[in-house]
Amino acid sequence: TLSKKVMIVSPSVLSCDFGNIQRDTEMLDQSQADWLHIDVMDGVFVPNISFGFPVLEAVRKHTSKVLDVHLMVQDCSPYIETFKKAGADWLTVHYEACTHLHRTLTQIRDCGMKAGIALNPHTPISVIVPLVSEVDLVLIMSVNPGFGGQKFIPNAINRVQELAQLREKTNASFLIEVDGGVTMDNAQALKSAGADALVAGSFVFQSPQPSATITALKNC
Ligand code: DX5
Ligand code: ZN
């Protein structure tokens, strides 16, 4: 069925040209992107290190869009307030990286941000059941986190569907976001499965017209 719902598109800054971060941020700011996705990697939770607060602050300076920050950081709890100060609006933490997840989600909301939980491809959807009223967004990883440009894992579509069913059953209202390998080849299927927001890095930045690609994803 054709839904009238418009997709939230969150291009991933990880795929931009860091030598031209102001230019690329301004391009995203002027595009139809709803959010800008910011991937923070610590080299512990994931086998890669991306960037931290100074880069987040630099992006914040050049856009008024919502900053959708995805922490791939082991035990991020000491840094939550610093992320708020650096400009984060939505802060998503990994289920697999937080020992005291309920406390962490509460801290995020207490700082005035929206709180998200990200789930790796192997993590059962049902782990979020005890936290449905603590969470504003659930991020389904459609690749193993750590790198841009990886291949989409098709089972993510089933997982989005399962999560959407769980949301309905529990009367919850969190948004469902999908991250990793998103292209026009899977965007519609993800939307029909129940996704509200799509992250796209390499698909946007490697396309000839990034801002037209963002529009296409928005209208998927
Ligand atoms: C992967 C990151 C993603 C990444 C997506 O660990 O969480 O946000 O930037 O990049 P693409 O769209 O290229 O898979
Ligand atoms: Zn991400």
pLDDT single digits (tens) 149-164:
999 999 999 999 999 9
For tokens 């990880």, name the residue: 14
Is 160 exposed, middle or buried, given 0-12, 13-18 or 19+ CB atoms closer than 10 A?
buried
Active site residue 39: yes
DSSP letter (8 states) at residue 98: -
- Percent of the chain beyond pLDDT 90? 98
Tally of CB atoms within 10 A around 12: 24
Side chain identity, residue 6:
V
Nearest CA residue ID for atom 4, ligand 1: 148
Model-level pTM? 0.98
Structure confidence at residue 1 (pLDDT)? 52
Distance 58 CA to ligand 2 centre (A): 18
Is 23 exposed, middle or buried, given 0-12, 13-18 or 19+ CB atoms closer than 10 A?
exposed
Structure confidence at residue 4 (pLDDT)? 75
Q: Of ligand 1's atoms, which has the minimum distance to the CA of residue 181? A: 14
Strand-pair partners of 69: 38, 91
Active site residue 179: yes
Distance 213 CA to ligand 1 centre (A): 16
